[in-house]
Copies of this chain bind each other. A is one copy, B any other.
C-alpha cells in the first residue's frame, strides 16, 4: 500500500529520508530549467518529470501540486538573490562597496541565469505569488540600504542622487545579461558575444557608474 501524506506536509516539519532529499533536489533542478524558460503557466508537470527522469505520478509523490514546486523554488531563490544587497555594508569605502555590489550582481547573472529568469517571469506576470514578499521583506531591505547610501551622499562620498533608482539601475543593468541573454548574444554576434561578454560588461558598468559618459575634461 502507498505510504502517502508523510512527505508533503508542507507547513509541518520536513522529516525526510535520504531518497526524498535527493529526488526533491532533482525535481527542483529540473523545474528550475523548465519554469525559467516557459513561465509557470507555460510549463507542464510532464515536462518537469521528463527533465527529472521520472514519471509524472512519481514526481507528484514528492510534490503534491505543481504550485508547490514553484513555491519552494521561489522561496529558496529570494534568499540567495538578495544576498549581495544584504552584504552592502556601511563600513568600507562607499565607491568600492558599490563597485563590488555591481560585480557580485553581474556574477550572479552569469552563474545563475535561470534563477534570474525565473524571477523575471514572476515579476513580469504581476508577481501574483510573491507580491507580499516584495512589499514586505524586499521593501524593508531596500529602504534600509537606501538609507545607508543616503548617508554616503551626505558625507560627500558619492554624488547626490536617488538611492532607490540607483539600486534599480544596478538591478536592471546586471540582470539584463541573464534575462535578455539571447538578445545580447544575437546583437554582439559570435565574436564579441562569446564568453568574454561578461568581462566587457563589467568594465563598461564600472565606468558608467563611476564617471558616466561625459568626456574627461
Asked if A188 CB lies within 8 Å of chain B CBs, one says yes
> Is the Cβ of B165 less than 8 Å from the Cβ of A171?
no
In the assembled complex, the Cα of A133 lies from the Cα of B47 at a distance in Å of 28
- Given A159-B213, A215-B159, A42 contacting B182 (CB threshold 8 A): no
Q: Mark A68-93, 1 if CB is under 8 A from B, else 0.
A: 00000000000000000000000000
Chain B nearest CB: distance from A164 CB in Å? 6
Given B179, B192, B203, B209, which contacts A120 in the complex, CB threshold below 8 Å?
A: B179
Which stretch in A1-9, A11-19, A55-63, A134-142 binds the other chain? A134-142
Chain B nearest CB: distance from A202 CB in Å? 10
Asked if A21 CB lies within 8 Å of chain B CBs, one says no
In the assembled complex, the Cα of A117 lies from the Cα of B179 at a distance in Å of 12
> Is the Cβ of A179 less than 8 Å from the Cβ of B123?
yes
Nearest-CB residue, chain B, relative to A211 = B212
- Please, which residues of chain B bring their CB within 8 A of the CB of A213? 95, 98, 158-159, 161, 166, 209-210
Q: Mark A188-217, 1 if CB is under 8 A from B, else 0.
A: 110010000000110111011111111110
- Given A42-B41, A124-B120, A210 contacting B214 (CB threshold 8 A): yes
Asked if A147 CB lies within 8 Å of chain B CBs, one says no
Asked if A20 CB lies within 8 Å of chain B CBs, one says no
- Please, which residues of chain B bring their CB within 8 A of the CB of A172? 172-173, 175-176, 180
- Given A142-B187, A159-B214, A187-B142, A204 contacting B41 (CB threshold 8 A): no
23 CB < 8 A contacts A-B: A38-B41, A39-B121, A98-B213, A117-B124, A120-B120, A138-B183, A138-B186, A158-B214, A159-B214, A159-B216, A162-B203, A162-B204, A164-B187, A164-B192, A166-B208, A168-B173, A168-B187, A169-B173, A171-B180, A172-B173, A208-B212, A211-B211, A211-B212
